[in-house]
Amino acid sequence: MGFLGKSVIAGMSIVFLAACTPKIVQQDKSSSTKVNSEMYRFISSLMSKMTIEEKIGQLNLLTGGDAVTGTTVNSNIEQKIKNGEVGGFFSLSTPQKIRKAQELAVKEARLKIPLIFGMDVIHGYKTTFPIPLGLSCSWDMNLIQKTARIAAEEASADGLNWTFSPMVDVSRDPRWGRVSEGNGEDPFLGAEIAKAMVKGYQGDDLSKANTIMACVKHFALYGASEAGRDYNTVDMSRQRMYNEYLLPYKAAVDAGVGSVMTSFNEIDGIPATANKWLVTDLLRNDWNFKGFVVTDYTGINEMVDHGFGNLQEVSAKALQAGVDMDMVGEGFLTTLKKSYQEGKISMQEIDRACRLVLEAKYKLGLFEDPFKYCDEERARTQIYTSENLKFAREVAGKSFVLLKNNEVLPLKKQGTIALVGPLANTRENMPGTWSVSTDLSKAISVKEGLENILGSRAKILHAMGTNLLDDAEYQKRATMFGRDIPRDNRSNEVMLKEAVNLAKKSDVIVAALGESSEMSGESSSRTDIKIPQNQQKLLEELVKTGKPVVLVLFTGRPLDLTWENQHVPAILNVWFGGSQTGNAIADVLFGDVNPSGKLSMTFPQNVGQIPLYYNHKNTGRPLEGPWFQKFRSNYLDVTNEPLYPFGYGLSYTKFDFSEPRLDKDNFKAGEKVQLSVTLSNRGKFDGEEVVQLYISDMVGSVTRPVKELKAFQKVFLKSGQSKEVKFEITEDMLKFYNSELQFVSEPGEFKVFVGNSSSSVKEAKFRLN
């Protein structure tokens, strides 16, 4: 039985492929077959000359030390390369450094096998784009693909040929810090982004010098860790996996991703890195994945602490499960030969892993030219260009989500503006987490962005107002990796008074508050997802002045903004926008760009509602009608509703939707239903709106979500313009995995919803016969 087969991706995407996803170029089959046979012969010949030590060496991925993302570093690297004990490096960059390492491999090692060089190129390279959660809020697949394309061009110009991206873990828990690196809570939106990112990185020919191999991660279910605590246990039914979590990984595989990274968590009681069902049965056999599988940082070694065996045992289990490359931990390098000699693993298993790593290098063209990525002229001319920075500014503006606006925004480019807050003048925190290659000192701060766009037309008064956090030790943890915000050692009262006095002299207050960039990301889980208390106190005092207040919110996760929503007249969520954050913020604040971002993850009213997501299921006692009702599924102290729902985001203009129109109200397999809706821009500004289509299966053989995103289009309309937006509904869009894990559609009644968020929709009904 196929699992999440091709019909899922094709069927669910056909509705809006032209509108949302660039066409994927298909390689000629005869040409592909010839290349594959030549590759097979070449690698078979090479492997026939390799010793067991050299084969195992190809499975060893070491860190070069430029940007370490874990707690372990490697030693005696040069000798290991000469001995043929290294397959590749990550976190080593620049053509000069990579050429030096590559020369050791191809000139001094016995078989002269080139190395592969990877890096965490997550949301841009030197030119940095918004954090992935922010980028997903653009709902613009062409835009997202281009960010990956530019990242690949810059990274490859700096000597790299492999990225550990995209991360596509579905997550519904904003306590988890790594929601900042993903695409939110919805598997369908995540799948579309996964395809766009893979296509952007890899292009249509991996052997080209300006493409890099993608690595989809973290396989699998990493975003569902218990309590939102990083690296924690995951436990869920197969039915939930199939229907709610696995689709984005499968979409990346179908898009041709070259490599897959296993996750830190366990699945069905077995760590993912040694889970044969996951890596072999599902990924290779059911999904037909042909690339190689790499662990996460010391993922094999960490299975010892899982209680899964000693290093030799867990290394053997990982290889037997289907893992091909060991990142940093060197468990493969130091134990596999012994396991083979003891009959615990086979040469066939070693050969499988070695072949897949060598095939990746062959596809990248490294055997033909090991130094193809070591072009110093490209490094000088194709990285951090003015053209790339211009695009980064555009992308950032499209990622921002306007959460509230009581006719305060856009601001006028005149008068006196009080710019207040610990995040108002920190370049280092603008790129966001996992921007390991960017030059933090070159990012544009909020203060600089306002100054750039205003010039002498308005006066800016600046005060910090408070530190990022009252707790100095907590602030150290929240500003690691060069993101320091120097502390003001004056008392809170003195700082607050200074900020309030400036605010009273202004016409409008811009408060740059929220999280620092390292308050989200890996190992940055939080139990309190409010704005830090000292910052909220500052905000309260600013609101008391009676002046218009705009909260420019920095965050890498959905926050509890209940108080802010009740009291602050305007809230612009800017996530962390990358290299051009400050300029992009100014563009939106002053109306040069009309915000069009839509949330890809629900904002709760408080942390007690978590996990809270739009595509939940009903209970047997759903709340119908007003809150509160005894013996219904609701809370005593707060409604079931989110503060801001999935798909939500305001604009400076007003969009209206007509009632959805269907060309038929029933159809059968093989037929289609056409839905059309008229979108009208009734406001004073030109703008973009995301038209979202959701479907609800009213009766199923297993319980079904209240609604599921199945299609969307991002539409630009001038002020006063209207447009008919069309979708096609197919049987494949109605399919799901039943209790036997068969991918089926079932006859019956369906509702279709169209609107500009998951909660603001108009509906129609149809029937599948």
Give the separation between CA 167 and CA 178, rounded to whole angstroms: 10
**Which residues have C-beta within 8 Å of that of residue 247, sequence separation ≥ 6?**
4, 8, 9, 187, 188, 190, 191
State in Å, rounded, how far the first CA of the chain is from the last one.
25
Within 13 Å of residue 258, how many CA atoms lie on the same side as its CB?
A: 29
With CA atoms as reference, report the closest residue to 116 among 362, 377, 349: 362
- Output the DSSP codes for 595-617: -----SSPBPSSGGG-S--TTPB
DSSP class of 285: I
Give the separation between CA 58 and CA 111, rounded to whole angstroms: 12
**Which residues have C-beta within 8 Å of that of residue 494, sequence separation ≥ 6?**
none
Task: Return the SS3 of 225.
Answer: coil
Alpha helix stretches (DSSP H) within 545-623 = 562-567, 581-589
Give the separation between CA 471 and CA 497, rounded to whole angstroms: 20
Residues in the chain: 769
**Which residues have C-beta within 8 Å of that of residue 528, sequence separation ≥ 6?**
607
Give the separation between CA 295 and CA 170, rounded to whole angstroms: 19
Query: Which is the catalytic residue, given 296, 326, 375, 697?
Result: 296
Q: At what angle do helices 331-341 and 311-321 cross, to 10 degrees?
A: 90
∠ CA 434-245-355, nearest 5°, is 70
Strand ranges for 413-480 from DSSP E: 416-420, 459-463
Give the separation between CA 432 and CA 178, rounded to whole angstroms: 12
Q: What share of the chain is helix, strand, coil (3-state, %, to 5)?
A: 35, 20, 45
* Whether residue 750 has a cis bond before it, omega within 30° of 0: no
Q: Are 303 and 318 in contact (CB under 8 A)?
A: yes
> Which residues pair with residue 713 across a beta bridge?
691
With CA atoms as reference, report the closest residue to 356 among 8, 6, 27, 39: 39
Q: Are 662 and 764 in contact (CB under 8 A)?
A: yes
Give the separation between CA 399 and CA 577, rounded to whole angstroms: 8
665 is an active site residue: no
Query: 98 is written with which tokens?
Result: 């990579």
Give the separation between CA 544 and CA 540, rounded to whole angstroms: 6
Active site residues: 296
